[in-house]
Structure formats: C-alpha cells, structure tokens
Structure 1
Amino acid sequence: MPNPIGRVARLLNPRLVKVEERVDFLNQQLMTLAVHEKHDMKSALGARGAKLAPDDPDPMLTIDLGKSYPIESLFLVPLLSNSEKLKSILPKCFTIEFSEVEDFSEHRVLYSSMDRYFPETGGKPIKFNGQEAMARYVRLTVNQGHPRGKSEIFGLSEIVVISNGYPVSFGKKVSVVGALNVENIWYPDAITDGRMPLGVWEGGEWAKESEKGDLITTGSQEGEISWTVDLGETCDLDTVILYPLEVREVLEAELLPEKMEIQIRSGEGDDFETVAQWENPVPESNQPTPLIFPLNGRNARELRILGKRPRNLGDKFLYGLAEIEIWSDQQNISESKPVIRDAGGVQSTIGSLTNGYASARQILPVGIWLNQLHDRWRVEREIQALDPMRTQMASESELNATWGSAMMLGLTFLIPVFIVERRRLISRNQMDQLRKRIASDLHDDIGSNLGSISLIARTAKKDLVRLHGPEEVGEDLDEVESIARESSLAMRDIVWLLERQQDSIGDLVARMRETATRLLREVNYTIDCESSKTTAKLSLDAKRHLFLFYKEAIHNILKHSKASEVSIKLWDIGDKLAMEIIDNGRGLPTLQENQKDIPKLIAKLDERARVLEGQLDVKSERDIGTRILLTVKRSLLIAAPAIK
C-alpha cells in the first residue's frame, strides 16, 4: 500500500497509475500460466545442421505430416542446455513454408525474417499462427546460422505443428539438408519425437497424493511388470504417450522403465503383439519428458506396457509411471479407463494412471501448454520492460509530490492527513479494547456464573444422596452439571477466538493441541504441523471457522466412530493450507444402512468448508476409518496487515 506521499504522487501522475495497473494485471496473468522449467536431457536433444562452405545450399528441415491438415499454429522449441554455446544456435534468420506438394512448387510462406536477426528467447518456445492454412509438408530454411569459423551451424529441440488442438507432427518423418548427426543425441527424427527440455506438459490444478501415478518396488533387476488398458472396443490407435513419474522423497528422479515394450491385441483370445520397443539410451538417467510412440492406426482393443527392466536407485529397483494416454482420431480414449497392473502374478486395478494428472499437476494438451509458455515469455518480457519505467516514474513522482506538498500545501495538507490517520488508529484501538472487554466479561461474569451453577448442582446432588431423594432428580442434576461444564468450556473457546494476540496459525495449532488433550484423553492421538507459515496472522472469521471445523470433526469421532487412534496434520499444498483428520473407527454408515445419518454427520463440516471457500474431501471405509481433508487458499485465511 503506498504511503500518503505515494498516493498524492499517483493522483498527480495518471500515467504512473496506468503502468502500475498494467504490471499488476500482467502479474495476475502469470499466476494462471504454465511454468517454464529447465530440464537437462541426456539423449534425443533435437536436430542440428550446418552450412559448411559459403557456396553450399542453405540448410533445411522438412516434415511430412502424412496428409494435409488445417494448421492452427506452429511452435519452434529452442535448445536448452547448461552449455552457453548450445544456447546460442537458434537460427538467426530463417523462413517457414507450408505446402501440399512435396517439391514445394506451390507453397505459402508462414514466416520469413529476411535479413533481420530473430531475437534470442532464453529457451522459450516461439509461436507462429498457421491461420488454418492447409499443408502436408512444413519446411524450415535456415538463411543464416551461427558462424563457426567458415561454417554456419544451427539447432532446434522440437518443431510442433498443431491442428485442431492436436500435435500432428509427433512421430512424423523429417528430412534434413546439411544435417550434423550424433547417434542417440542429434538426429532428424528427434525434432518430432515430442521430447522437449521444457519438461512435462502440466499446469492448472495440483494433484493429490492419490492421483500421482503408480510406483512399485521389485525384488531384483530381473523382475518384470505390466500395465494393461482395456479400451472396451476395438479402435485404430494413433499414438501412445507415457508420462514419467517424479520421485522427490529421498532421491530426485523422473522414472520410466529402463526397458519396455508396447503391446496390443484385438480380442481377448488373441496373443499380444509387440508394436514398439524402447530402452534408455543412457542407462539409469532421468527421463524428464513424456515418451511418444506412434502406432499409425494399428487396430486393437487392449494395450499393454511391459516393463522389462526397472530403474536402479540406490539399493532399490523401481518401476514408475505417472500417466498413460492412448490417442485415436485426436482423442485420448484411455481417459478414466481402469489399468490392470500385473507385478509378479499379483494383479491390481490402478485408477491414477488415466486420471489426467502427472506427478505434480493436471496434464494440459500440448498445444495449450506451449501456448501458455509462449504467453508467459511475452508477459515476462513486458513486465521486464515496464518495471524500470515504473520504478523511475514512481521515484520522480513521489519526489515531486513531496516538494510540491511542502511548498504549496504545507500544514494545510498535513493536518487533515494526520487527523484522518489518527482517527483510523483510534478506531482500531477502540475495537481492540471492545474485544478485550467482551472477552473479560465473558470470562469473569458468565464463566463465574457457569462455575456457580456447576458447583450448586454437585452440592445439591450430594444432599439428594444423603437424604435419599428421587433418582430422577439426581439424573437431572447430573445433566445440569454436564451442561454447565460444557458451556464453560465452549465459553473459553469463544474468549480465545476473540483474543487478537493469539491469531497466528501457530496459535491455532496450540489451541488444537489443548482441545485434543481435553477431548481425546482416552484416545491415542497425534497432532503434527508441517506448515512453514505458522507466524502468519489469521483473520477473525478464518480463525473461528477453522477451529470450529476442527472441533466438529473431533466431536464426530468421539460420538460416532469408536476410534482408538486419531491423526491430525496441518501442512502446505502449494498456495493452500491443508488440515487432515484421520481415525481408525467404524467409518461412516453406508447409504443402505442409514439414508439420514451421513448428511447429518458431515453437514456442519461442509458448511464450514463452504464459508472458508475451501475444498472438503471425506473418504470412509467400513471398519477401517475415516479421512477428512480440508484445503483452503492461504490468501483467504490471512488477515490484512495492521495499520501502524
């Protein structure tokens, strides 16, 4: 928030306000876009070419798409490497052409830089609008590369051609004039294999732990594993895409089987036929990008990924996959299909391999993903250009406002500002004093009265026993004492909720521990807080609803679950705070057992979650227990900073 001088400066300089509003808008845009990451690839880096002598023809890359498509967009993905030399071999000047005939006798120029150097992008993808032009062949001609002595060289990681949102260039054949090939590292087909140093095609929502693919340990390096997808009907399969599983617990690794086969069969009684094979060209190296296997319309009902050799990490042999996509007619037909994993004859149904999530976030169509990365580059460049301008304009405007205010307005201006600011502080202090007085009154007056009621009930009960009075009256006195005691405890919670000095997440956790000590004294329980934001101040409403959500969940466990163990945990998930409560009790009743109890048990929890604008996830299994997970964006919980 600008200081008073800053506010005046912005009133006198509308250009500064417009620049700041534009920067804020651009920063909001960045929060919605996929993140540009750098991954070090060991194989299939892309394609390189060279013009070895001045009289040699210009190097060219030509992609045959197999048939004509309306081209929506084309992306060039530059190399991204730790080597400074490799960073700088994006062609300086180039031309991109479309054609429906192989010899390009009829063609359309999509882009030509002529004699202008194309700017370096720092590894960001470059987008060209295809304007729905029909083309079967795409050609990139390098008019000028990077000088290396008398030669000129160039290199690219990937060329991605998008039609109707689908990457029609993946797996297509490439011909090169002036190629510089290195086995398994630089070769023409590596420019259409879908492998890019930008990583996995993900963005959007964060994946839950149960949505992060499949990881299994085998006893030795000889153990095999298979994942089989039944498509439900026979289809013409175009492409299979396998996403690596990220492991971040001890060793950082991106896992795929070190050696595997793609197999298909048309009917249940048929044998599986191997249609593709893959072996890690650099054994035991990470695979940070999806693997793409073109099947070119092979007909099948079932597809199986056969892992023939696991990845060795330390003393473990691991198989891992994050997601399986099977594409037919530009649609992912494996989405939500169950996957049968067979590991040493033990079969399991895996639902997390076709749920649309990679290891961290939701999978995006590659066209949308590249488009977001390109937009991020454009937005970041604009912010970089505007930031120095904003800083200079703000500095100059605030300096001018300071001198102008001192010379022209003087005390006439300063006194009203001082009065307004002082009134705001006085008003805030009055509110604090009111909260303290209410808390004190509750604690001293009502608390004292409740204590007196409880004491009178106990004394009356003793007199009743001594005088052999009616048992019904004794039961009523027990109930009065119980209600008074519970009301006193509830009043203590209300007093705590009003206390401004105990508004942090850490204070909430401390109160949760105190409440658990009181309510769960006959249950084995644990409370863990792994949040890194324990000093952050909560708003009054957020503090109240979080604590009451927690109390309601604990009361449900005590009343209904008959649990002997309870686990309570708070931690961070991205920009969210998560609260998880797990018990080993009876679980929620099924719908067949009781149609009415289920909504009653979770209605208050759901209401608190909605008020907090959070997400509630309740999972329960009969005689196993119940898991309650509440996730709320931290920005909705944190109190506005105090005015000083």
Structure 2
Amino acid sequence: MFELARAGQTAAAVGLIRGTLIGQQRALDGTISQFLIVNNRMQEEAAAANRGIYDRVAAEIMTLVAVLLVVVGIAGVWIVVVNRRAFEAVRDVTAQLRTLSWHTLRLQEDVQRSVSRELHDDFGQILTAMGTLLGHARRRVPGDDPLTEQLDHVRTIAQETLDRIRAQSQWLHPGVLDDFGLEKALARCAEQFERQTGIRTTLEATGPIGDVRPEFAIHVYRVVQEALSNIGRHSGSSEARVQLECDGAALRLEVEDRGRGMAAGRARTVEGGLGLVSMRERAELMGGQLRLRQSPGGGLIVEMRVPRAVVTTTPEGVLT
C-alpha cells in the first residue's frame, strides 16, 4: 500500500486502502452488531429474570399477607368469642351476686323482724310485768321504809330497760311499717330521730306511697334511717328534711340537711362509710340509683330514684 504510493500509483494505493478499511469496518460493524444483539438479549433475559424475581417476591408477599390476614381474622374472632364469653360470665356472676345480695338482705330483715318481735313480746312483757309487780310492792311498803327507795330505783331501771328494748326493737324492725305502711313508719322514724338528737325533722310525702310493696318499703325505710343517722353523726345541722314522692314514673326520695354539705372531711366520711354502701346497694337492688349532691342551702342531699313499676303493686317490671 505504501510502496504503491511511493511508486506513484496513488489511485491504486487509495483503492487498496479503501478496500481494506471498508472490509475492516464491515467486520467491526458486524462485531458491534453481534455485541449489541447479545447485549440486548442479555438485557431482555435480565429483565425477564427480574420480572420473575419480582413476581415471585410479590406472590410470596401476597401469600404472607393473606396468611397474616387469616391469622389476624382467626385471632380477632377468637378474641371476640373469648370476650363475649367473659362478658357473659361476668354478667351471670353479677346477676348471681345481685340475687344473693337480695336474698341476704331479705334474710337479714327476716332475722331482725324475728328478733324484734321476741324483744318486744317476750322481754317487753317480762319487764312490763316486773314493773307492775314492783309498783304493787311499792304501794304495800310503808312510805318511811328504806326499801321504798330501792324499789323505786329498781322500777326506774326496769322502765328504762323496757324503753331501750322497745327502741331497739323498732330499730331492728319497725312494727308500724307492717301495721300502718311506709308513710306512717317514716313519720315515726322522723319523730324518734328528732326526739333523740334534737334536730328538727320534717316529712313530706306525696302520691300513692301506700302502693309500695312491703318487701321494698323496708329498703326505703332503711335508706331514710341510715341517711338520718349520718345527719346526726356528721352534718352538724339543726334541721333535716325527708321528702318522698311517688308519681307515675318513679319513687323519689330526698333526705336533706342544713349542715356542712360536701366539705372534704364530711365527703370522705360519708363516701367511705358502710352506710352509704348499704344505701346504694339497696337502691340498685330495687333497680334504682342513689347519689349525693350539694343542697342549695349549703347542706347535703341523699337522693334516691327507683322506677315505680318495680316497687309498687303494679305487676309490670316487678322484681321477684
């Protein structure tokens, strides 16, 4: 090629160069084309492999998600079933406890009624007879006899004991409740409380109070009795008011004082006392509610509300 150029055969040298370069270019183009084809094929294979890997991973993820959803669903159903069973068990236990509490209170009232009658009938008659005999003996003894003073003293002790037994008998079970009904029993309770404490006590009763069934009337009476007892012990009040109202919807009870109200010390004493627990239990067993609230006059109000259909002679909603 260079020799031809030196020999002056330029055209031949150019033709030879062109032919050689074109051949090499074609060979290079072929090599590049094959490389591109191989590269494209490898890229397609890599893309297909990537798609396969992605599809497998996606399938595995979907399978895992499905399994997790099934597990979560089963766990959720199991939790719902377990919670429902636990709720039903708690509800059954609560109902059993309520029934047990109701029967316990009824048994307690029956026992107290029996003891009250024994105190009133047996011991009351004995002490009454003793007082009568002491009176007869006193009249037969001369007035200047030293024995008269001793007889008077013993007779006084017998009378005081009789009064205490009668008061204890009434506290255990108010006979007037059985004989004359709830309103008369509450009036007697208010009178006794006023006489014992000096706290002026008023009773306001409206509506058909006499319709309250005896097995519920005793619980209303006990709530009033305990509320008045709390007033005497903790309120420092000089007045107390008992209001009982029975209308078409409910039996409402309020026991109000004019004392220290919801002062911190009294609130803790009342809230933490067994008396309030007993009052609330009696209210709830009758299907009602009991709460404490501040009186507009600065004192404390014990408020109870019970559905009338439960506690009256109306058959609907009667608790047995």
TM bucket, shorter chain? 0.3 to 0.5
TM-score by length of 2: 0.46
Structure with larger RCO (C-alpha < 8 A, sep 6+): 1
Give the TM-score normalised by the residue count of structure 1: 0.24
Higher share in strand: 1
Larger helix fraction of residues: 2
- When Rg is computed on C-alpha atoms for both structures, the one with the higher figure is 2
